[in-house]
Amino acid sequence: MKLQQITRGKGKYYHVYLPKNIIEHVLHWHQGDNLEYKVISDNSIILKKLLYPVNKYLEDLSCPVCFNHCVTIKGIKIPKRNEFKIVARCPLDHLVTKTFFSQRSLAEWKWYIHETINICDLCGGFLEEEVRKHASSTVRPFYKIVFRCRDCGRTRSKVIADEIVDLSEKPPDDITPPIIQKNQKIRQKSRVKVCPTCEEEVPSNHVFCSQCGTFLTEEII
């Protein structure tokens, strides 16, 4: 059995991973207790017990499968609807979520997005900024930022609205930064790739094999 305690904002809950043979007992136990549970695969379920009310925005930005906090890849304003569209990815199972937040409550949710700008959506590692371009517009200004991940070495590019990137004030004291679990299975991108035709080792930035000239496609994750 694996027990994991997760604290989000003022909320706190537990994930309990159990082998299949005792699931029935647990479901029986569930009848007499106020627990929520979710079946995540054939051999494990998650029991979720809410000890305090969980912050609504953290809940909205959680992965529906594993409850990890999703990392923002796109956060743009939709002026006509007075809202922001947030596209985020869970670094553990790479599930992509789309959430809409109102412009009126920007001050309440922007930090949870802002805190993940420098996080890699593939592995949960730290992103170093490489290039930043600004698209100035009176209704929908945004930044396009290109990063390189310090952990997995991959290039990531994000499009984020000015309102979320430019935060001159400090986050309120009661905001706990989101906890993002890292994906240990994502390996460092290799510096060489192997030609599928002649098996020559070629630097990963080469488009053609230096020995036989085969066109080499990018490594797919």
Which residues contact Zn ion by CB under 5 A?
A: 63, 65-66, 68, 90, 92-93, 120, 122-123, 125, 149, 151-152, 195, 197-198, 200, 209, 211-212, 214
Q: CB-wise, 168 or 215, nearer to Zn ion? A: 215
The answer to whether the CB of 88 falls within 8 A of the CB of 73 is yes
Closest approach of Zn ion to the CB of residue 32, in Å: 30
Nearest approach in angstroms of CB 200 to Zn ion is 5
Residue placing its CB nearer to Zn ion in the complex, 7 or 184: 184
Cβ neighbour number for residue 11 with a 10 Å cutoff: 17
CB of 43 to Zn ion, least distance (A): 18
Complex with Zn ion: residue 68 or 99, whichever CB lies closer: 68
Other C-beta atoms lying within 10 Å of the C-beta of residue 12? 14
Nearer to Zn ion, 39 or 107 (CB): 39
Q: Which is nearer to Zn ion, 97 or 176 (CB)?
A: 97
Nearer to Zn ion, 152 or 161 (CB): 152
Extract the tokens encoding 103. 């412009």
Cα–Cα dist 22/30, whole Å? 12
Among residues 41, 13, 36, 11, which one has the least CA distance to residue 26? 36
CB of 100 to Zn ion, least distance (A): 20
Q: Supply the minimum distance, in Å, between the C-beta of residue 116 and Zn ion.
A: 13
Alpha carbons within 13 angstroms on the beta-carbon side of residue 79 total 7
The nearest distance, CB 78 to Zn ion, in angstroms, is 26
